[in-house]
Amino acid sequence: MSNLLVVEDDPDMRELLTEILQVQGHAVRVAPDGVEALRELDIKFPQLVISDLEMPVLDGQALIYRMFVENLGRENVPVILMSASTRLKQVAEAVGTRYTLAKPFSLEALEELVSRALSEAIPPRPPGLPAAF
């Protein structure tokens, strides 16, 4: 069983993701925005964060930057960034995550990406950082 954090401002989507991931055997915690996600990360690091890009208060891009800058181990948590925005790939490149999920997505696409991200466990690395970082 994997420990996941879902960060999604839409309550219906948050509930749907939670149900799907729990049926797949994952333990799921949720946050409605990036600020709450950072609080959840302070409590316990998940094995994977699945975050929406566009949210009020603190969006997915800012969340990933804050995870990286505030350090304390948060920078080592892989992140799936999801959105219906045409900026998804551009933002993913800017924050250095290789895992993206375009909305709307199929159940199979979600399952495959979660499995791959958990298996590879590669955290975001913004471009231009020294290799030792």
Q: Residue 76 above 90 pLDDT?
A: no
- What residues does each domain of the chain span? 3-120
pLDDT for residue 69 = 78
- pLDDT score for 65: 87
| Omega cis (within 30) before 104 | yes
The overall average pLDDT reported for the chain is 92
Residue 70 binned pLDDT confidence (cut-offs 50, 70, 90): confident
**pLDDT-based confidence at residue 72 (cuts at 50, 70, 90):** low
- Look up residue 126 and give its amino acid: P
Helix intervals (H) in the chain: 11-23, 34-43, 60-69, 88-95, 107-120
- The edge-to-edge listing of strands for the beta sheet with 3-7 is 27-31, 3-7, 48-52, 79-83, 99-102
Does domain 3-120 fall under CATH 3.40.50.2300? My reply is: yes
Distance CA 87, CA 78 (A): 20
Of all residues in the chain, what percent carry a pLDDT higher than 90? 79
Dist. CA 122–CA 92, nearest whole Å: 13
Q: Predicted confidence band at 115 (pLDDT cuts at 50, 70, 90)?
A: very high
Which residues, in sequence order, are CB contacts of 32 under 8 Å at separation 6+? 7, 8, 9, 11, 14, 55
Q: How far apart are CA 51 and CA 82, in angstroms?
A: 6
Over residues 16-49, the pLDDT tens digits come to 999 999 999 999 999 999 999 999 998 999 999 9
